[in-house]
Structure 1
Amino acid sequence: MQNLTALSLKTTDGTLYVLDQTLLPQQQQWRACRSVAQLVGMIKQLQLRGAPAIGIGACLLLALRAEQGVSRQQLQQDAEILRAARPTAVNLMNNIDSMLHALATPDYATAAVACAEALFAEDVALCQQMAAHGAALVQPDEQLLTHCNTGGLATAGVGTALGVINLAHQQGKNIRLWVDETRPLLQGGRLTAWECQQLGIPYQLICDNMAAMLMARGQVDRLFVGADRIAANGDFANKVGTYSLAVLAQYHQVPFYVVAPHTTVDLNCPDGSVIPIEQRDASEVRGVCGAFVQTTFHQIIWAPQDAPVFNPAFDVTPASLVTGWVLDTGVYSQQDIASGVLQQLV
């Protein structure tokens, strides 16, 4: 396999490396990943995260193992184990299906490598296309708001929603960005803020519960968020807290856009009610695990040790609250979605 490099993933001399996102922004540490169990652990611990990046990372590992002579049967079993690592991110399922098709061919190792490399290149291209479509919506001097992390850390390319925002910035539109911290794991505060600093995007970090006040003051002109799965009717799952923003945006008449590649559309889900929602560990809500203090990792707990916790990783935003769907193929309105345009794209 050729050496490939993205912000959170790279292959070098036959080995997959993952940038450990749990250590950002204080440390940038690449971890070698050589086994399926190791990658599953990285995905579950959010060392590797973002729907496109998860799917591509899984395929790169399968391809490297195929190149190393692992049997077809073992690789097929590995693929199913990886498929189950994150239940909400449909990109992972779609990419695994592509790899299983490659593994069914006579020269499965060559086919697997070609498939993984093609999926990597495809995501880079899809991100560029989404950025172009979305940036065209942004007007000069606008104040934008985003949630969670949707940049290069979450994809093989420039990102989804943050890719749009970055291109608008590069076009000299003098934007400013509000970055939700994104409770409970602070992907906005830790990751999006870090990416904005790397890219030179003017931003301010806010707590999630400050967005309503900003909208009421007229300090948000447009919202861009990502998606882990889009149902056939346009409902979509994204990091928990997205639904709240959509409700606030509609009340304050602020345009609300979801940005995702067409590979995130799941026609097997007729609507958002059947999208599986991952439940995560209670410790993430009871406090902060892995806070970096000087050179030591600590666990900071502010709730009672046995406090009952509800901790869904995602929520579902109904299509009725969405101004537009920014895909790699274009920008679609509610009327477009109602007419069945998503069924024509997948």
Structure 2
Amino acid sequence: MTSPVETIQSVQLNKEDELILLDQTLLPNKKVFLHLSTIKEIWDAIYHLKVRGAPAIGIAAAYGIYLETKKSKAVTFTGLYDDFQKNKQYLASSRPTAVNLFWALNRMEERLLKETEKSITEIKNALKEEAEKIRMEDELVCRSIGEHALSLLKPGFGILTHCNAGTIATAKYGTALAPIYLGKEQGYEFKVFADETRPLLQGARLTAWELQEAGVDVTLICDNMASIVMKEGKVQAVLVGCDRVAANGDTANKIGTSGLAILAKHYQIPFYVCAPLSTVDIECDTGDDIPIELRNPDEITKSWYEKPMAPKNVKAYNPAFDVTDHELITGIVTEKGIAYPPYKDSLINLVKQVR
């Protein structure tokens, strides 16, 4: 059985300068790769979760801003920059919580501003090069996160994870799933419990799918079953990804994550957040400052059913993320090492290594 880590690149640019995305909304029943070339198509793919996972969103945005800038008919740097800014603001509106989206777009802008003395063609080529760097660096970052996280785990551990922080959410390996893949290579024989992750079922559709494909021992559970598997001693560590880390260590991740952290604290199980340093937002003081995306109530009431599963016109509240308090987090695993409390000190020290 071949691991998808080796065979699937969920976001990449082909030789024809098309953005190739694995449509994650069709998994696990269909494996379809989209060929996108317009900024509207890429915005739609990000908003509708055809591409998802903070690193993958950032990579898609970087390629997207390059592809649209390439089409610009501007003949001066000022004109090109004006077009870039419009396209940047448009792409940034697709997912307000995922900081990697803004990080990648800002990095592309920084590269643009470094090339002011170059020709328009050279500037466009530089943007393509920068987008490629973002993708390749993410692969290395994810492997490094996996190595650091694996040092916290023992062979045979039961691991609980939420949403999907795997290879299809990144360039390769994933964040929270990276140590599971590396452990598989080294014979750790982890037993993984994957929360279904309502309402969009990323755990059921995506995590369970890719881990099963990789030959990992994975068991799917409903979100409200986490407490009992912890109580029964089946879980020795919780590993999750995240979309934004505040300066004090509060983390925003898929809705339901904070509840897991509270349960883990009660059962004295270590709770680790696996996140690239690009996800750390030092300008964001606490989780209270993180914008929480509210999505269409249809995702709760009828999106995944043949018929609506709630009364017609019932009110539904559908936040995509919640914030886990830093006091509930045992450690934040990054590519440069593991941050421990107090996070205001440890995170800044790690961020300084890459910025």
TM range (shorter): over 0.9
TM-score by length of 2: 0.90
Residue of 35, 50, 57 corresponding to 2:53 = 50
Residue of 333, 338, 347 corresponding to 1:342 = 347
Check conservation: 1:256, 1:323, Cα contact below 8 A. Answer: yes
Check conservation: 2:69, 2:83, Cα contact below 8 A. Answer: no
Does residue 36 of the first structure (1) align with residue 43 of the second (2)? no
Provide the C-alpha distance between the structure 2 equivalents of 1:196 and 1:122, rounded to a whole number of angstroms.
23
Provide the C-alpha distance between the structure 2 equivalents of 1:88 and 1:65, rounded to a whole number of angstroms.
23
TM-score by length of 1: 0.93
Provide the C-alpha distance between the structure 2 equivalents of 1:176 and 1:345, rounded to a whole number of angstroms.
31
Percent identical residues = 42
Check conservation: 1:6, 1:156, Cα contact below 8 A. Answer: no
CA-based RMSD of the aligned residues comes to 1.5
Provide the C-alpha distance between the structure 2 equivalents of 1:117 and 1:46, rounded to a whole number of angstroms.
22
Counterpart for residue 10 of structure 2: 8
Residue of 85, 92, 95 corresponding to 2:101 = 92
SS of residue matched to 2:249: coil
Deviation, 1:6, is 5.7
Check conservation: 2:17, 2:37, Cα contact below 8 A. Answer: no
For residues 241-280 of structure 1, what are the structure 2 equivalents within 5 Å? 241-280=256-295
SS of residue matched to 2:172: coil
**Gap runs ≥5 in structure 1:** 292-298
Deviation, 1:180, is 0.4
For residues 146-225 of structure 1, what are the structure 2 equivalents within 5 Å? 146-225=161-240
Counterpart for residue 79 of structure 1: 88
Counterpart for residue 313 of structure 2: 306
Deviation, 1:259, is 0.2
Residue of 322, 326, 341 corresponding to 1:315 = 322
Check conservation: 1:76, 1:103, Cα contact below 8 A. Answer: no
1:185-224: CA deviation from partner (whole Å, max 9, x where unpaired): 0000000011102211110000000010111111111110
Provide the C-alpha distance between the structure 2 equivalents of 1:315 and 1:70, rounded to a whole number of angstroms.
42
- Superposition misfits of 4+ residues, deviation over 6 angstroms: none
Provide the C-alpha distance between the structure 2 equivalents of 1:142 and 1:51, rounded to a whole number of angstroms.
26
Provide the C-alpha distance between the structure 1 equivalents of 2:313 and 2:340, rounded to a whole number of angstroms.
46
Deviation, 1:68, is 4.7
Counterpart for residue 294 of structure 1: none
Does residue 287 of the first structure (1) align with residue 302 of the second (2)? yes
Q: Amino acid of the residue matched to residue 279 of structure 2?
A: T
Deviation, 1:111, is 1.8
Q: How many aligned positions are there?
A: 332
SS of residue matched to 1:161: coil
Check conservation: 1:123, 1:155, Cα contact below 8 A. Answer: yes
Deviation, 1:70, is 5.0
Counterpart for residue 253 of structure 2: 238
SS of residue matched to 2:323: strand
Deviation, 1:47, is 0.6
Give the stretch that moved more between structures: 59-68 or 86-95: 59-68
Counterpart for residue 326 of structure 1: 333
Give the stretch that moved more between structures: 68-77 or 299-308: 68-77
